[in-house]
Amino acid sequence: MSIEIRNASLTLGNKRLLNNVSLDFHPKEMTLLLGPNGTGKSSLLKLLSREWKTEGALSFYGKPSSQWRDDVLAKSMGVLPQYSSLSFAFTVREVVELGGLTLALSQKEITEIAEKKMQDTDVFHLVDRPYPTLSGGEKQRVHFARVLTQIAASPRPPVLLLDEPTSALDIRHQHHTLQVAKQLAYQGATVIAVVHDLNLAARYADRILMLHSGAIIADGPPLKVLTSKNIEDVYGWPVEILMHPLHQYPVILA
């Protein structure tokens, strides 16, 4: 497995954000985290990325988190946060090539990888644009390209952690971004992402974790997790579930 977390809890101030969570994550699997606002999705992602420390145990590739140096783990684990602040007038190319800082490659090789990832995320046409002039969605895709560049030469099956990667994107780029992530999973990566759109989750997830009040209340494939009862219990809103007429995944109607 890529990541193992046992008895993970997180408390900030007097608020319990996660409560005794134990999970395994595997290569070739795209796991999407669902749940209402403030229910622990981003908190779980921050524990997995080591931004926040867990009260439980966390291991990567069979080795405890404490035994990994940041620079070594960064070659295999890329993190796309919910918000990425950058005010300097770097070009898009320069921002994406920042992902190559972890790579033991020549500048020419880093540039070639960065250009490929910009093409994959549909931002290559922006390559010479100053980053601050981009729209929110364009910035999000640029940072996605940067993270993909970072893990491009991973010596082990990479881990990709994405916090709301589609939040600022139009419908075309929402689907395209999740298709890129899904393809990486098919190629051997472990992909874990926070999303809010239940229908996107139904379409692209191999596995869904549904969280409520800091606990995992459902874990499994979309057909098992995305039931009308689960959704109404967790979100407090009634829905109808239909099946997609061509691809046989659930479609949620409010």
Domain of residue 24, CATH code: 3.40.50.300
Whether 214 and 94 share a structural domain: no
Q: Do 243 and 188 share a domain, yes or no?
A: yes
Domain membership of residue 139 as a residue range: 86-153
70 and 94 both lie in a single domain: no
Determine, yes or no, domain membership for 120.
Answer: yes
Indicate whether 18 belongs to any domain: yes
Give how many domains the chain has, as a whole number: 2
Among 101, 119, 153, give the residue marking a domain's end: 153
CA angle at 101 for the pair 97 and 107, rounded to the nearest 5° = 60
23: closest CA among 50, 59, 74, 73? 59
Per-residue tokens: 206: 């191999």
- What's the token pair of residue 253? 């109607």
Task: Answer yes or no: is 81 within a domain.
Answer: no
203-241 pLDDT, tens digit per residue, is: 999 999 999 989 999 999 999 999 999 999 999 999 999
Same domain, 66 and 119: no
- The verdict on 221 and 185 lying in the same domain is yes
- Per-residue model confidence as pLDDT tens digits over 46-80: 999 999 888 889 999 999 999 999 999 999 999 99
Residue 8 lies in a domain: yes
pLDDT, tens digit, 9 for 90 and up, residues 105-163:
999 999 999 999 999 999 999 999 999 999 999 999 999 999 999 999 999 999 999 99
pTM summary value: 0.95
The verdict on 147 and 90 lying in the same domain is yes
